Amino acid sequence: MYYYLFILAIGAERLVELVVARRNAAWSFANGGKEFGRGHYPVIVGMHTLLLVACILEVAALHRPFVPWLGWPMVGVVALSTAMRWWCATTLGKHWNPRLIVVPNAPLVRGGPYRWIHHPNYTAVVAEVAALPLVHSAWVTAIVFSIANAAVLNVRIRAENAALGYA
């Protein structure tokens, strides 16, 4: 029961992200922003939506137990990854968006977590995709969606690097 509420809370947090993203996209486009990688964005949204559904379905259908020695640390990983993603969003400010929108002549952000790694948000997403199902022992979902996430991020990071001029 608590796990389902946890998944619902994560889903609500994602909806907040979409509201912020819509506001930031409007600002970016008003300032000459150009969108890249439009084809893979619906795949990202679909995968993250299905992840939440799969977490619930595997736990309910296969009666996965909550195992405290695994579940509690995974709650911590989810909390830390969510904090990291919001740190990224705060650092990027109006430039943050799950869509790949680049505003011409905007300086590359090198503060916050970007001091240490080019893609800290994706590092947090990798951790979260693996940890969220494992909170309640949904190991099949953790494996399947970690593999799917790796494939999606491979495409996304290449597109983002090209758009930002890394490639």
Range of the domain at 109: 2-164
pLDDT, tens digit (0-9, with 9 covering 90-100), for 117-151: 989 999 999 999 999 999 999 999 999 999 999 99
What domain count does the chain have?
1
Residue 103: pLDDT above 70?
yes
User: The whole model's pTM is what?
Assistant: 0.93
d(Cα 70, Cα 132) in Å, to the nearest integer? 11
Q: What would the mean pLDDT of 18-33 be, rounded to a whole number?
A: 97
Q: What would the mean pLDDT of 26-39 be, rounded to a whole number?
A: 95
CATH number for position 6:
1.20.120.1630
What per-residue confidence (pLDDT) applies to 86? 97
Residue 167: pLDDT above 60?
no
Counted residue by residue, the chain has a size of 167
* Sequence-separated (6 or more) residues with CB below 8 Å from residue 7: 52, 55, 56, 132
Using alpha carbons, select from 100, 114, 89 the residue that is nearest to residue 43: 100
What per-residue confidence (pLDDT) applies to 166? 58
Residue 50: pLDDT above 50?
yes
For 122-154, b/e burial (b = at least 16 CB within 10 A) is: bbbbbbbbbbbbbbbbbeebbebbbebbeebbe
